[in-house]
Structure 1
């Protein structure tokens, strides 16, 4: 299995690389210290799996995962991070990651997780799996089939959901692990496509669609 490691801490990245070198079935073909580097390596090398940290300079691991899955859907992504919070877990899964492993996991657990995700499976701890089932069973809050929202992209619908829930740009940025400026750009595009002047009007459109 050909693997790209995306991790901005050289010491930790080196440790993972050395661990994988002890196996016969896992090969590190590239290493990235930022989301941009990870995207470029994925494009060039076409690995089987990307081992992805969340917090990196530039494009973070969540956004990099989303872009990888959009452009290279056959490449699997396994998140390796210190973040245990629900928002990080759920957002990573929503953008296409197939597993979520904490950096304090033992070596055997990490190797097993890589093999499972690389083979098309999914890996979560039992508590994370339970929270995910509850979260995703609630479904989207924006009726995506409504013609009023037909021009919105998947990401724009996701942000519109957060607007409908009353979240500020800063809260949306934190939830989706993107910058405030990126959120502002998305909000501007959403308002233009919906032909409304402000986020309150966009919220009212969502509420009306739900009632209908």
Structure 2
């Protein structure tokens, strides 16, 4: 199985590479320090699986995953990160990642996760799986008719909320919509005010629940 490692910390990449090189069935074919570098190298390396960090310079791991899966749907992505929050997990799954493992996983767990996702399965760190079970077991309290504030958002505000839910920063949203990051920040403030929430994660959760009915 051909693996690409995408992480902006060279020492961490080295440790993962050394671990994978102790096996007979896994081979490292490329390394990237940013999402942009992933996109430049993926066609050349043709990995079966990408070990993808989330926070990297420039293009983040979530957006890189989305773009990789759009062009190369056969390439599997396993998120390897320190982020434990629900929003990061669900956003990663929505853009096509099939696994979510924390960087404090031991060597056995990491190797097992690589093989499971590389062979088409899905895997999550134990505490991430527990959080997901808790999330989906919570009573549903929101549906479109119960949250009329969503209907008050303008077309532009709704578009920005959708980008927020995908994990984009203000700068990335601005670049995509050809507006300044400051203008995006102003829109975000209006969105939070209309939805009566305190942060971007809560706003994203409302949109997700709205879509799932």
TM-score by length of 1: 0.69
- Superposed counterparts of 1:166-185, under 5 Å: 173=164, 175-184=165-174
Distance in 1 separating the partners of 2:47 and 2:60: 19
Deviation at 1:39, TM superposition (A): 1.1
CA RMSD after TM alignment: 3.3
Which sections of structure 1, spanning at least 5 residues, go unmatched? 142-151, 164-171, 190-198
- Superposed counterparts of 1:17-36, under 5 Å: 17-36=17-36
1:6 to 2:9 alignment:
no
TM-score by length of 2: 0.69
Q: Which residue of 2 aligns with 1:127?
A: 130
Q: 1:138–1:88: structure 2 CA closer, same or farther, 3 Å change rule?
A: farther
Once the two structures are superposed, residues 158-193 of structure 1 have per-residue CA deviations (whole angstroms, 9 ceiling, x without a partner) of: x64837xxxxxxxx64x533231332455679xxxx
Distance in 2 separating the partners of 1:49 and 1:182: 26
Distance in 2 separating the partners of 1:76 and 1:132: 25
Distance in 2 separating the partners of 1:45 and 1:18: 18
Q: 1:53–1:187: structure 2 CA closer, same or farther, 3 Å change rule?
A: same
Count of aligned residue pairs for this structure pair: 170
- Superposed counterparts of 1:1-212, under 5 Å: 1-124=1-124, 125=126, 126-131=129-134, 133=136, 160=159, 162=161, 173=164, 175-184=165-174
What's the secondary structure of 1:100's corresponding residue? strand
Distance in 1 separating the partners of 2:141 and 2:43: 35
Deviation at 1:130, TM superposition (A): 1.3
